[in-house]
């Protein structure tokens, strides 16, 4: 997959807009990116090890760093910086945004956790 033609962080640092050539821009909230980070810290090394991350409603994007020509590292203001977001993963998050977000909210509820 080609790199996006634009990555833009909102002024309040709570939204990343990803624009792939010829496609509608994808808006991904910082909270969603943080709790669905592809890092081993969040995803574990198997599905059974995946962690439900609570309390990130107010997390912000501190910085974005390129990783080769295939991804970016998103650094969050809570110190999390180990997620490498490939272009494919960002695109998939955009396509599956509603389903993934609802699954996250359902997990929080099932585990008695909160976004705050």
What does each C-alpha distance from 77 to 2, 34, 48, 94 come to in angstroms? Answer: 28, 10, 27, 22
Residue 48 binned pLDDT confidence (cut-offs 50, 70, 90): confident
CB 16, CB 34: distance < 8 Å: no
Q: Is residue 1 part of a domain?
A: no
Residue whose token pair is 């501190």 = 62
Q: Could you give the percent of the chain with pLDDT greater than 70?
A: 100
Domain of 29?
6-111
Number of domains in the chain: 1
- What's the pTM value of the predicted model, to 2 decimals? 0.95
pLDDT in tens, 26-45: 999 999 999 999 998 888 88
CATH number, position 14: 3.30.2020.30
Checking if the pLDDT of 49 tops 90, the result is no
3-state secondary structure of 6: strand
pLDDT at position 86: 98
Is residue 116 in a domain? no
Q: Residue-wise over 59-70: b if at least 16 C-beta within 10 A, else e? A: bbbbeeeeeeee
> Is 16 a domain residue?
yes
């Amino acid at each position: 997959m080609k790199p996006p033609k634009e990555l833009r962080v909102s002024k309040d640092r709570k939204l990343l807009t990803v624009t792939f050539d010829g496609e509608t821009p994808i808006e991904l909230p910082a909270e969603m990116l943080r709790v669905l980070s592809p890092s081993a810290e969040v995803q574990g090394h198997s599905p059974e090890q995946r962690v439900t991350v609570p309390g990130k409603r107010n997390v912000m994007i501190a910085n974005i760093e390129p990783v080769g020509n295939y991804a970016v590292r998103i650094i969050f203001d809570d110190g999390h910086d180990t997620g490498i977001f490939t272009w494919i993963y960002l695109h998939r998050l955009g396509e599956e945004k509603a389903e993934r977000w609802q699954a996250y909210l359902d997990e929080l509820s099932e585990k008695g956790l909160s976004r705050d």
